[in-house]
Structure 1
Amino acid sequence: MSFQPVVPFSGTAGYAFLQRTRESQQAAFEQAPLIKRNVEAFRDRIASITSAEELVADRQLLEVALGAFGLDEDINNKYFIEKILSSDTEDPKSLASKFSDKRYSAMAKAFGFGDANGPSLDVAGFADRITDAYQDRQFEIAVGESDSNMRLAMSFERELATINDQTELSDNARWYSVMASPPLRKVFETALGLPQSFGTLDLDRQLTEFRDRAERVFGTSDVTDFADPDMQKEALRLFLVRGQIADGQSQMGSGASIALTLLQGG
């Protein structure tokens, strides 16, 4: 039986517990047979892979590759993933570069099948970087099975760093990248108190609202300012508190609905 991460509380208390216990909990989680087999297979075989076609043909290696970038759900989209992995990430017109979801271009760049010099999968440390990312994300998925808000909070720093590391982006472009990242979008929308209907607005209106609301709540509308640990801590605090309140209201509404049904049935 595999280890299931323990999340005894919701909100900020639960996140503080996870931060304290993550190292020991994740170490136990990584001993699960499936995780161990996938990691060992990737480390043993990845250096022999020479093309995107070969990688996609090996389901076990592909599972780790996709999992490392949070793209697990694409496991059966083999033709599409092969084209992504074969993309030249230096070409803005390539398939991987065209996607607003930057996880695809990050994966293509990491493996380098579309690079002029070809892939370098046998370089020291490559397998460790990919398997470490795979294990981190699989642990977050397992945590999310108990509390989806915890999973989002755990991924916040990494997802934000991915955007801020792209130094060529303007601040508006960074906000558009936030909007294109489901986990970041959810964290910011909740932390800023934006309604569920917010996503139905046109993108330019959403951008304006994100910037204005961030300025009022955090005193800045610059995405790069959230690289500051204190800013991240405050953003996550608001996200977790407001998320906990929303979950509580949802449960109350569900309970009231059940009670009404029972009364009507009586």
Structure 2
Amino acid sequence: MTFQALIPLSGYAGWTFLTRTRESQQEVHDNSPLISREVEYFKENISKISTAKELVNDRTLLKVALGAFGLDADLPNKAFVEKVLVEGSLLEDAFAHRLSDKRYLEMTVAFGFDLGTPRSKLSDFGDKIVKAYKGRQFEVAVGQANEGMRLALTVQRDLTDIANGDMTSNSKWFTVMGNPPLRSVFDTVFNLPSSFGALDLDRQLEVFQDRAERLFGSSDLTQFSDPEKQEELIQQFLVRSQLNSINIGVQSGRAALSLLQNSRSYFSNSQQFF
């Protein structure tokens, strides 16, 4: 039986319910037959892998590996994934460094196929990847019930690490921009249009910092290492997402009403000719 996350409410009320029941729901998810089979297979076989090609040619191992970094959609893209892993991260011009989505860089660093001995040979490697995979797959299940909740979980997982990271404030913002789920959260909170991402990165940085200053009192991303400030971000994201959904519904309703009125007018005018 496939696990289904229980989220009976939308918006921030739904988030409150999820956080209260997360531990028990996560346990049910982790013990589901499919997840159990996949993680056991991974732990038993990952130490046998020595090259990127061997990894991408084993569908279950690759599924867990990609899923641990939120890259599930790349499961069919074996050649692309292999290139990321083969080139690794040691060289500045490695493929992963050139990709805007930094989750690929995280993955290739974790596996270390460009090292003399890949990290897949380490005794605790399987457990680390499996832990990340379980967490990410729970988020996927939550997203199937409510995508906004999934993104909020991403904030809890990724934003804390970035905020506490040993980087400059600007570098932290650029890291957020290179993380699609986190970027989506901030774009929503800052009420930025989809076309905003086409602007020069330095200009985007200025806008992000300006909006953060106005909404949260500081332009420094480090502020989100504070759980209360992080919760404030999540609350604003979920509330604004809910408002956006309502606005879309209203606009759709108006469009439907306009079409109905136009069709009535058309038929009324047509009858004058008969």
Identify unmatched segments of 5+ residues in structure 2: 265-274
Separation (CA, whole Å) in 2 of partners of 1:184 and 1:246: 18
* 2:158 is the counterpart of 1:159: yes
Question: Does the 8 A contact of 1:11 with 1:240 survive in 2?
Answer: yes
* 2:271 is the counterpart of 1:247: no
Which residue of structure 2 aligns with residue 124 of structure 1?
123
Which residue of structure 2 aligns with residue 79 of structure 1?
79
Separation (CA, whole Å) in 2 of partners of 1:136 and 1:261: 46
* Matched positions, count: 264
* 2:199 is the counterpart of 1:201: yes
* 2:83 is the counterpart of 1:104: no
Shift of 1:223: 1.3
Separation (CA, whole Å) in 2 of partners of 1:263 and 1:138: 46
Shift of 1:84: 1.3
Separation (CA, whole Å) in 1 of partners of 2:122 and 2:194: 45
Bigger-Rg structure (1/2): 2
Question: Does the 8 A contact of 2:164 with 2:225 survive in 1?
Answer: no
Which residue of structure 1 aligns with residue 172 of structure 2?
174
Separation (CA, whole Å) in 1 of partners of 2:120 and 2:164: 23
Tell me the secondary structure at the aligned position of residue 87 of structure 2: coil
Identical columns (%) = 48
Shift of 1:18: 0.6
Counterpart of 1:253 in structure 2: which amino acid? Q
Question: Does the 8 A contact of 2:110 with 2:119 survive in 1?
Answer: no
Question: Does the 8 A contact of 1:100 with 1:177 survive in 2?
Answer: no
Residues 1:172 and 1:104: Cα distance change in structure 2 (over 3 Å): same
Counterpart of 1:53 in structure 2: which amino acid? K
Which residue of structure 2 aligns with residue 43 of structure 1?
43
Separation (CA, whole Å) in 2 of partners of 1:35 and 1:224: 35
Separation (CA, whole Å) in 1 of partners of 2:85 and 2:165: 20
Question: Does the 8 A contact of 2:164 with 2:222 survive in 1?
Answer: no
Task: Compute the TM-score of the two structures, normalised by the length of structure 1.
Answer: 0.91
Shift of 1:236: 0.9
Identify unmatched segments of 5+ residues in structure 1: none
Separation (CA, whole Å) in 1 of partners of 2:221 and 2:233: 12
Counterpart of 1:146 in structure 2: which amino acid? A
Alpha-carbon displacement from aligned partner over 1:124-171 (angstroms, at most 9, x marks no partner) = 33211111111111111111122111110001122224434552x332
Tell me the secondary structure at the aligned position of residue 120 of structure 2: coil
Residues 1:98 and 1:196: Cα distance change in structure 2 (over 3 Å): closer
Tell me the secondary structure at the aligned position of residue 119 of structure 2: coil
Residues 1:223 and 1:200: Cα distance change in structure 2 (over 3 Å): same
Counterpart of 2:169 in structure 1: which amino acid? D
Which residue of structure 2 aligns with residue 65 of structure 1?
65
Task: Compute the TM-score of the two structures, normalised by the length of structure 2.
Answer: 0.89
Separation (CA, whole Å) in 1 of partners of 2:251 and 2:32: 38
Counterpart of 2:90 in structure 1: which amino acid? E
Which residue of structure 1 aligns with residue 14 of structure 2?
14
Alpha-carbon displacement from aligned partner over 1:180-233 (angstroms, at most 9, x marks no partner) = 211111111222233444334332222111111111111111112211112111
Tell me the secondary structure at the aligned position of residue 5 of structure 1: coil
Q: CA RMSD in A?
A: 1.9
Question: Does the 8 A contact of 2:85 with 2:111 survive in 1?
Answer: yes
Counterpart of 2:232 in structure 1: which amino acid? E
Separation (CA, whole Å) in 1 of partners of 2:66 and 2:178: 18
Counterpart of 1:139 in structure 2: which amino acid? F
Which residue of structure 2 aligns with residue 214 of structure 1?
212
Shift of 1:254: 2.2
Separation (CA, whole Å) in 2 of partners of 1:90 and 1:248: 47
Pick aligned residue for 1:191 from 149, 166, 189: 189
Shift of 1:245: 0.9
Which residue of structure 2 aligns with residue 225 of structure 1?
223
Separation (CA, whole Å) in 2 of partners of 1:75 and 1:161: 28
Question: Does the 8 A contact of 1:89 with 1:114 survive in 2?
Answer: yes
Counterpart of 1:66 in structure 2: which amino acid? L
Question: Does the 8 A contact of 1:97 with 1:105 survive in 2?
Answer: yes
Shift of 1:107: 0.8
Comparing 254-263 with 14-23, greater Cα deviation is found at: 254-263
Question: Does the 8 A contact of 1:86 with 1:114 survive in 2?
Answer: yes
Question: Does the 8 A contact of 2:42 with 2:61 survive in 1?
Answer: yes
